[in-house]
Chain A
Amino acid sequence: MHSEPILNWFTRWGRAVTRADELISLTDLTIRVPGYERPLVDGVGLSIRRGETLCVVGESGCGKSLTSLALIGLLPPALQRGVSGQLGFDGDRIALDDQRGLSRLRGRNVGMIFQEPMSSLNPAHRIGEQIAEAWRRHNPGDGQAQAVEMLRRVGIPAPERRMRDYPHQLSGGMRQRVMIAMALVNSPDLLIADEPTTALDVTIQAQILELIGSLQAGGEMGVMLITHDLGVVAEVATNVAVMYAGRVVESGPVEAIFGDPQHPYTIGLMSSVPALRGPRTRLASVPGIVPSIETMPPGCRFATRCPFAQPRCADTPPSAEIAPGHSVACHFAPLDERLAGAA
């Protein structure tokens, strides 16, 4: 009874998944930086099935972008040398330090969109040409027709004419549409979108999210969407991974994360977001800031900010599955009773 409205609500983004096969599964991604005892990213595991959207959330500096770059082999060289872990991609297994294997996946199998489209679009080239070029990298033909078709699909009016525009002639929202067209022109299996709407106004953000959803709907593409906006997560996710200081601290179906969050960090993040309805009460926050690699504590990395921290938290909490698909890495999960004693 209690969770019914949630279930009713979370039905927007192509969730009628027909084939439930795993597209990617990342296991034990660890990134070490020479000279530091504790890894920057520590034992991250994620999986995405076809047709599903995994949202990765967490504060700035939690390792969201590094995780996505590691799984396509695009980490900066200094970090790439310290990578270990495994990637399963559509049945193949690739070691994350195998640069050649990962580069084969990119382009054709993986499309990418970033927060700032200007950093990925070439300001000196017409947008149509840039999309066509992305097509030609993996296909025969000049790609002109495909570029026009993609621009039309991402909702750019008069695409034949717009093909000739340069990036600076477009608004931020239009540029993001062009980025999406470029990322999807090769029909990738996986789309990685790193904060694709953060720089956009809310009405334009809604259009872009709807666009990504409609391009995915009914298809086989998996999406990994990185964001710090819990509203966006609730709107588009099938599954959620909450990252904190280089680890996944809680993960599970979106209904479980929002309806029954367990990790103190997830609860703290959610408590920090002001409400749009209901009584206005003082916000609870998460005190302090994310530790850096220099100040990373042993054991539970959230211990320096967690209001429930106990001596036992100096040991690393294992990730435990507390409900099907819903995992939490906290010594005291499921929290209820023991917490009441602790508080």
Chain B
Amino acid sequence: MNEAMIEARGLSKSFEIGGGFLKAPRHLHAVDAVDLTVARGETFAIVGESGCGKSTLARLLMRLHEPSDGSVRVAGHEIARISGQELRALRRDVQFIFQDPFSSLNPRLTVARLVGEPLEAHRPELDSAARRAEVARLLAQVGLRPEHMDRYPHEFSGGQRQRIGIARALASGPKLLIGDEPVSALDVSVQAQVVNLLADLRDELGLTLVVIAHDLAVIRQMSDRVAVMYLGRIVESGPTDAIFTRPRHPYTRALLAAIPGPEGGGQGASLTGETPSPMDPPSGCHFRTRCPHAAEICAGSRPPTETSDSGTSIACFRWREIAEGGDDMPPPPARSAGAERRFHLYRQALAAKDKTDKNQQEGQQP
């Protein structure tokens, strides 16, 4: 039982681009020799900018892509080799939540059908009445009401649609949920609701979560460990608190510094230029064309991954020298004492309202 939920070694995916008559295709290394381990019951986050390979990596973990190289073990099974019964079990145990709940839900199906579908596949023993009861239970679990069952996706708000997507993912009784930007399309208020919901479900159901996001604050809120990707490679990974208090890799530091606001790095544009084309990445360290610390050594070979005393792994030739500089982030600005009190009151009132709402709802139920 102690084995990891996911273990990926040297995992790679390259896509062939172009090519044709007398023209060799070019290769795009979307995921480039990635190692990662996700423990059971933890929330593991993958962060990085657009095109760095997050979604491709997630799809590899579910075998929605065949890897070009390397291996993935999920709950001890080498997923490239399984088939038949075992593959069905994998499809049941590992579920996906998508960024855009609207495009991932068939608009012509009612919620009862959408959530019931995976039940038909994975729990054929249920008759239709039992299935409906199970759908109702799943909906309640994600904070929706039974009367929502006979409605269609367009009748729901974005946050509610994301809840439907989560209920659908939970229907097969998975052990591992992989969310590709599950809260990115939502307003902060609704995002907070869904972030809390996912945390509750993880605790109640003992799920393992892999969450992809580009919002570092969301990642910090949700995860136990983080991997930061740049151009197909993991450049830094480790415990969330360690990464956020003492980021070591220049790219991680730049990402944090770029977050706007007094609460964020608030250091403005610390990086110039843009991410180079993944078809033609720089030699050696892929980050060197934008790295303020780049030196000659960085162009030669891929930097080895080394471990720091705070338990983080860093792929940078120069991280020891760089870390010497003072890297404590400035303290966030304070609110007035009155404001602090109001924030506290807001939480209290919210909890109280939640309780009365729940009681009322239960009272109304036949």
Interface size class of B (residues with CB under 8 A): 35 or more
The answer to whether B49 touches A202, judged by C-beta atoms less than 8 angstroms apart, is yes
Contacts of B337 in A (CB 8 A): 2
Greatest chain A CB density within 10 A among B199, B255, B353 is at B353
| Known contacts A269-B188, A280-B220, A283-B221; is-contact A9 B262 (Cβ 8 Å) | yes
The answer to whether A235 touches B339, judged by C-beta atoms less than 8 angstroms apart, is no
With both chains docked as a complex, state the minimum distance between the C-beta of B24 and any C-beta of chain A, in angstroms: 24
The answer to whether A267 touches B199, judged by C-beta atoms less than 8 angstroms apart, is no
With both chains docked as a complex, state the minimum distance between the C-beta of A281 and any C-beta of chain B, in angstroms: 9
The answer to whether B217 touches A276, judged by C-beta atoms less than 8 angstroms apart, is yes
Closest to A62 in B: B187
Partner of B189, one of A172, A205, A234, A268: A268
The answer to whether B354 touches A6, judged by C-beta atoms less than 8 angstroms apart, is no
The answer to whether A3 touches B336, judged by C-beta atoms less than 8 angstroms apart, is yes
B:316-351 near A, CB below 8 Å: 329, 331-339, 341-343, 345-350
| Known contacts A5-B333, A284-B350; is-contact A276 B256 (Cβ 8 Å) | yes
A276–B158 CA distance with the chains assembled, in angstroms: 25
A343–B270 CA distance with the chains assembled, in angstroms: 44
| Known contacts A207-B272, A258-B335, A259-B335; is-contact A232 B263 (Cβ 8 Å) | no
Instruction: Mark each residue of chain B from 246 to 267: 1 if its CB lies under 8 Å from any CB of chain A, else 0.
Output: 0000000011111111111010
With both chains docked as a complex, state the minimum distance between the C-beta of B365 and any C-beta of chain A, in angstroms: 19
Contacts of A231 in B (CB 8 A): 259-261, 263-264
Answer whether residue B191 sits at the interface, using C-beta atoms and an 8 A cutoff: yes
A:223-275 near B, CB below 8 Å: 228-236, 258-262, 264, 267-275
Partner of A203, one of B49, B188, B245, B349: B49
Number of A-B contacts (CB under 8 A): 203
Answer whether residue B193 sits at the interface, using C-beta atoms and an 8 A cutoff: yes
Answer whether residue A335 sits at the interface, using C-beta atoms and an 8 A cutoff: yes
With both chains docked as a complex, state the minimum distance between the C-beta of A337 and any C-beta of chain B, in angstroms: 10
The answer to whether B261 touches A202, judged by C-beta atoms less than 8 angstroms apart, is no
Answer whether residue A141 sits at the interface, using C-beta atoms and an 8 A cutoff: no
B:207-230 near A, CB below 8 Å: 214, 216-218, 220-221
Of A39-47, A143-151, A285-293, the one contacting chain B is: A285-293
Answer whether residue A124 sits at the interface, using C-beta atoms and an 8 A cutoff: no
Answer whether residue B269 sits at the interface, using C-beta atoms and an 8 A cutoff: yes
With both chains docked as a complex, state the minimum distance between the C-beta of A334 and any C-beta of chain B, in angstroms: 8
Contacts of A335 in B (CB 8 A): 342, 345
Closest to B349 in A: A307
A268–B346 CA distance with the chains assembled, in angstroms: 7
Answer whether residue B192 sits at the interface, using C-beta atoms and an 8 A cutoff: yes
Given A274-B192, A277-B332, 8 further pairs, Cβ under 8 A: A6-B262, A207-B272, A230-B261, A234-B261, A260-B339, A277-B331, A283-B221, A343-B352
Q: Can you give 13 A-B contacts (C-beta < 8 A)?
A: A60-B158, A60-B187, A201-B275, A202-B216, A206-B260, A207-B269, A232-B261, A259-B336, A275-B332, A276-B216, A282-B196, A287-B353, A307-B352
